[in-house]
């Protein structure tokens, strides 16, 4: 792990800007974008997640270290991906995972049937959490939604695909997860969509 990654994963060593305005200019930030891309492994099919293989925080979500105007800070990789796609993510706009995979950074085309990372408000986030029964409102957070479990799964997934997408990657990644019931999984695991509802969307 490099110094920048350690700064993002070590508590207090670098500030994480979760909901500040984020601008990514394809020309001015070309080197930064190239470094970001070097930490992404794309899924084997169009509907699969693109996996972040860089630093992962204690909450199971990725961290991407930036230095701008002499100031170092961390951002969420999936929010950075939104900024690459749109140029600017306004303050208060969050990155939400429709695929329910904390280390996914895929921005799907609007016409695609399966969406991955989308923009939304904190209200959207809370509504989605309640709808999926993972927290918020009257729904209690299930034990397997804990930060520790979520991080362990994210790290297992990252490590499994770090050197490419091996044929048995899916089995290896899900081996660290709590057992699935048919009611939770729909009777199958489809691509990299995490039917287990492993964690809430974050900025």
**Reduced 3-state DSSP string for 135-180:** CCCCCCCCHHHCHHHHHHHHHHHHHHHCCCCCCCHHHHHHCCCCCC
Per-position b or e across 94-127, b if 16+ CB within 10 A of its CB: bbbbbbbbbbbbbbbeeeeeeebbbbbeeeebee
Listed as ranges, residues in the chain with pLDDT below 70 are 1-14, 132-145, 166-203
Q: Which structure tokens are listed for 170?
A: 């899916």
Work out whether strand 88-89 and strand 71-75 pair parallel, antiparallel, or are unpaired: unpaired
pTM: 0.73
User: Residue 3: what pLDDT?
Assistant: 60
User: Residue 85: what pLDDT?
Assistant: 95
User: Residue 4: what pLDDT?
Assistant: 56
């Amino acid at each position: 792990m490099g110094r920048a990654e350690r700064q993002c994963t070590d508590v207090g060593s670098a500030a994480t800007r979760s909901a500040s305005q984020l601008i990514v200019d394809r020309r001015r930030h070309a080197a930064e974008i190239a470094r970001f891309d070097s930490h992404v492994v794309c899924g084997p099919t169009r509907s699969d997640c693109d996996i972040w293989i860089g630093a992962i925080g204690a909450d199971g979500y990725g961290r991407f270290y930036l230095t701008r105007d002499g100031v170092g800070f961390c951002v969420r990789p999936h929010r950075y991906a939104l900024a690459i796609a749109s140029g600017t993510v306004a303050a208060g706009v969050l990155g939400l995972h429709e695929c329910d995979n904390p280390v996914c950074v895929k921005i799907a085309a609007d016409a695609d049937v399966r969406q991955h990372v989308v923009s939304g408000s904190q209200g959207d986030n809370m509504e989605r959490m309640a709808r999926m029964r993972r927290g918020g409102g009257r729904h209690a957070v299930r034990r397997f939604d804990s930060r520790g479990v979520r991080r362990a799964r994210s790290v297992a997934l990252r490590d499994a695909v770090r050197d490419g997408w091996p044929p048995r990657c899916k089995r290896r990644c899900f081996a660290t997860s709590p057992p699935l019931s048919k009611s939770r999984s729909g009777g199958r695991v489809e691509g990299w969509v995490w039917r287990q509802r492993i964690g809430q969307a974050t900025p």
